[in-house]
Amino acid sequence: MYAERASRLTGAVVWTTVPDGTGTGRVLPDGCMDLLWNEGRLLVAGPDTRAYLTGGADGRWAGVRFFPGTAPALLGVPAHALRDRRADLADLWPAREVRRLAARIDAAPDPARALEDLALSRAADAGPPDPLTHRIVTALAEGRPVARTADELGLGARALHRRSLAAFGYGPKTLARVLRLRRALALARTGVPLAETAARTGYADQAHLTRDVRALTGLPPTELLR
């Protein structure tokens, strides 16, 4: 069973799940990175460019899903270093410190809250997030073209690309595709027909929507929405 709630860390989400072992899960790209706990292990989920399949994930899981672009400052590693990866936190931080933190979370009455406390502590040490990162996400999430976004932010195309790689793990065009996918799926789940969804979320037509959804998730929209 999966459950989530808003985090005390601005823009983040805390989630928990216990896989039932009956099939493969599918985590869709969302521009985010997650700090994960799984029965004594601490991991980091990097930014995905395609659906991540979760078959065989045993035991309890908890995670903090950070707002896009905010995790690298907390974790101390650029996002592109973890693109399409699930990495042990001990690969990024001193192993002794990670073991201590994992033991503390294991012993907590609520591991998800203890994991959130760890994220909050790291955020306090890292300081406030770069406001430009939030502006990039906001502009692209609203469907503005990448070139227009760069102009509005006073950045050249190369500077925007460099910032995006470090903050999101991929360039602004890929981030825009991922955020458009999220907008389209959210709209389609309300019952809006796919042709209208495509028109309202910036796709050329329904066929374009179908191709992009399949490329990013591995499934056509009709099957994914089921």
Q: Kindly give the confidence (pLDDT) of every residue in the chain, 226 residues in length, as a single tens digit, with 9 standing for 90 and above.
A: 889 999 999 999 999 998 776 667 899 999 999 999 999 999 999 999 999 998 766 789 999 999 999 999 999 999 999 999 999 999 999 999 999 999 999 999 999 999 999 999 999 999 888 899 999 999 999 999 999 999 999 999 999 999 999 999 999 999 999 999 999 999 999 999 999 999 999 999 999 999 999 999 999 999 999 8
List the beta strands (DSSP E) in 1-100: 2-6, 13-17, 26-27, 34-38, 41-45, 52-53, 61-65, 86-88
Q: How far apart are CA 191 and CA 210, in angstroms?
A: 16
Question: What is the identity of the amino acid at 84?
Answer: D
CATH 1.10.10.60 in the chain, residue ranges: 131-225
- The tally of CA atoms less than 13 A away on the side-chain side of residue 52 is 19
Structure tokens belonging to residue 112: 């998800």
**Domain at 131-225, CATH homologous superfamily:** Homeodomain-like (1.10.10.60)
pLDDT value of position 226: 87
